[in-house]
Amino acid sequence: MSIKIKKDIHIEAMRLAGRITGQALNLLEKEIRPGITTAELDKIAEEFIRSQGAVPSFKGLYGYKASICASVNNEIIHGIPGKRVLKEGDIISIDTGAYINGFHGDAARTFAVGEISETAKKLIDVTRESFFRGIEFAKSGNHLCEISAAIQDYVEANGFSVVRDYVGHGIGREMHEEPNVPNYRFGKSGPKLIKGMTLAIEPMVNVGSYRVKQLGDGWTVVTKDGSLAAHYENTVLITDGEPELLTLVEA
């Protein structure tokens, strides 16, 4: 395993990429409403990212053709933007990234479309909070498994399940670098965390079973049982002290 440790000059570039990514998500949150299409949200994100001098990280990555992943209700990740019209009561997970000065930012949020069910509200809150429970252990000297275990414990204590088939990852010059960052216990301690590591930590949580399936479009991943799913992600820098969340930007 070759984990790339970032130097100060790299970290500055990642701060910029992360800030643009976080700002794009803040902008999208204001635009999400019943009646808007996922394609319209994709256009808003791309135009904003490019206006900041960056390019959308996802567009062209592995052949993907959009700037965001827009996953609605039982869609967990990799939903392709298109003509789908959001309606009252939906939830939508948006994952996006920005690339500038040779480095990437990557983040995701799940948003309510109008008024949503109490179950959906709890799912969004638990998914977000599981991330913060995990990063309590994102400190130099700890091991990766401590982040993963904390996420799983919090999610399952709240009656939900953690997706096993997809995980977080290292990030930097490449969108996906070593190490993998599971959101569940994986039987080993994993690498020791050290200053200069940058990780995309991203709990993916289902109301029902953790089992998933990929649709025929070759991208969209849904819950196998049709239950709701949520996603929360930030690009995280390991420091000498508390972790720095490069993509969490105040609205």
Per residue in 109-156, pLDDT (tens digit) is 999 999 999 999 999 999 999 999 999 999 999 999 999 999 999 999
Q: What is the pLDDT of the chain when averaged over all its residues? A: 97
Paired residues of 169 in beta bridges: 180, 200
CA separation (Å) from 145 to 58, 89, 126, 190, 231? 28, 36, 20, 6, 20
For the cut 90, the answer to whether the pLDDT of residue 189 exceeds it is no
d(CA 237, CA 213): 31
Please work out, in degrees rounded to the nearest 5, the angle formed at the alpha carbon of residue 104 by the alpha carbons of 101 and 143: 130
Q: How many CA atoms lie within 13 A of 92 on its CB side?
A: 31
- CA of residue 219 relative to chain centroid, distance: 16
For the cut 90, the answer to whether the pLDDT of residue 104 exceeds it is yes
| pLDDT reported for residue 188 | 82
DSSP 8-state assignment for residue 3: P
Rounded to a whole number of angstroms, the CA Rg of the chain reads 17
Fold for the domain defined by 8-245? Creatine Amidinohydrolase (3.90.230)
DSSP 8-state assignment for residue 160: -
d(CA 20, CA 53): 9
For the cut 70, the answer to whether the pLDDT of residue 1 exceeds it is no
